[in-house]
Amino acid sequence: MSGIRLKLPKYCSKLLENSKKLSKSLTDYGRFLYIGFMNKFYRRLFFHGGPGLNSNCESKQLAKFFDGFWNEPSLLRPRVISGHLSDNRFENLIEDAWTFIESQIGVRKDGNSVGVFREENRGRLSLVCHSFSVWIPVLLALRAKNDQRCQAILDSIGEVVLVSPVLDTLNASQRILSLAAVDLLASNPAVAAKITAAELSAQFAYDEIVIAGFRSALLDEMLFTHYFSDMSALQLYAQALSDPGFGVDVESLFAVMAGFHAVVGSDTVEIGIASLQSLIDQKIKLTFVVGEHDKIANSAKNREYFERLSFGETQGKFEVIRSVGHFGHLENPKRFEEILGLSVRAENRIGNGKNHHPDTCTTVQ
C-alpha cells in the first residue's frame, strides 16, 4: 500500500480546499471575537495634558470612549487633596494619578504603601495619556524596578496610548514661547523680546528662565489658538474651561513646572524612551497618536522616538490624525475612536502588519 497513491476526484479536492478555507475563516473569526472581547474588556482611563488643565471637555465630548477621567489636583475643584508624597507639586500630580489608577481596579495600599496586585486585574487597564501626562506611565516604568507598588500598577496595564506626547519638554516649551513671541511682536515688542530671550537661553525644561518666559507668554490672548487647527473644537474646549472648578489653574501650572526637574532631570527624551521600552518589554501595547499640524509636540520627533523602540512580540503603532493640532482627539473624535479600537481592526481586517489607513499608520509586530 505504501507505493499506491490515491487520486481524489476533482469535486473531493475542491471540497477539501474549501474546508481548509472555511477552517481558516472560522479561526480568523474566532480571533476577531476574542480580540473584540479583550478590547471591550479594557477599562479605559483618560489623563489630560497640562499642567494646569483638566479633563472636563474630554469627559463631555468623549464620554462613550472611556470608563474614567483623571483631573490633576487643584484648589479650583472641591476635592480633598491628601496622601501626597512631598511638597513637590509635580510629584504630587504623579502620585494623584497613580492613586486614581489604583481606585479604578480596587487596588489598595497596605501600611507600607506597597501595592497589592490581584491576578484578575492583569492587563485590564488601557491608559490614554495626552501631552504632558505621558510622564504618568513613564515614571511608573522608571520606578517599577525598585517599587513594588509601581510594579503592581504596571501589571494591571495592558495598553498605553500616548496622544501628542511631550517627551522633549524643553523643545515643547521653546515652541510655545516662540509662538507667543510672534503673536506679541506687533502689540508688545518689549514682552516679545523678553519671551524670545527666554526661549533662546533656556537650559532645560521648566528652569527659572522658561518659567519666567511662560509668565510673559500668558499675556498672549491668542496663544491657545495654536493648540488647535479646528477653531470649533477650541470653542468647545474654552466653554468647558468656563465651568465652575474647571478653569486653567495657573498656580498649579507654575508649581508643577518648578518641581519637574528635581524628579525627572534634564535628559527627558532618553529617560522617556528607556521607560517606554520597559513598558514594551513587559508586554504592554504602545500606541503613539500625533496630530499632523501639531505646533506644540513635534510630531516628526515623536516618530523618531517611536522608531527607536524595539517591540519584539509586543504590538506598537504610530498613528497620524490628519489636519489636526495638539488636541487631535477632540478635533477628530471619529478617527480617534477608530484608533482606540484599532487592535481589533488591525488584527482581523488587515493582517500582516498592514493598515487600512496606510498613509497614517505604522504598525510594528
Residue 82 clears pLDDT 60, i.e. is over it: no
Residue 43 clears pLDDT 60, i.e. is over it: yes
Residue 364 clears pLDDT 90, i.e. is over it: no
Residue 14: what pLDDT? 58
Where is pLDDT greater, at 12 or 122?
Answer: 122
Q: How is the chain split into domains, by residue range? A: 43-167+257-364, 170-246
Distance, in Å, from the CA atom of 89 to the CA atom of 289, rounded to the nearest integer, reads: 27
Residue 326 burial by Cβ neighbours in a 10 Å radius (0-12, 13-18, 19+): buried
Residue 36 clears pLDDT 50, i.e. is over it: no
Question: Smallest Cα–Cα separation from 129: which of 99, 97, 171, 151?
Answer: 97
Element (H, E) at 279: helix 268-281
Element (H, E) at 227: none
Q: What is the pLDDT of residues 260-276, one digit of tens each?
A: 999 999 899 999 999 99
Q: Which residues contact 117 (CB under 8 A, 6 or more apart)?
A: 107, 151, 152, 155, 156
| pLDDT more than 90, % of the chain | 68
Q: What is the pLDDT of residues 87-122, one digit of tens each?
A: 789 999 999 999 999 988 875 544 334 455 566 777
CATH superfamily of 43-167+257-364: Alpha/Beta hydrolase fold, catalytic domain (3.40.50.1820)
| pLDDT more than 70, % of the chain | 76
191-219: average pLDDT = 95
Q: What is the mean pLDDT of the chain?
A: 83
Distance, in Å, from the CA atom of 298 to the CA atom of 162, rounded to the nearest integer, reads: 13
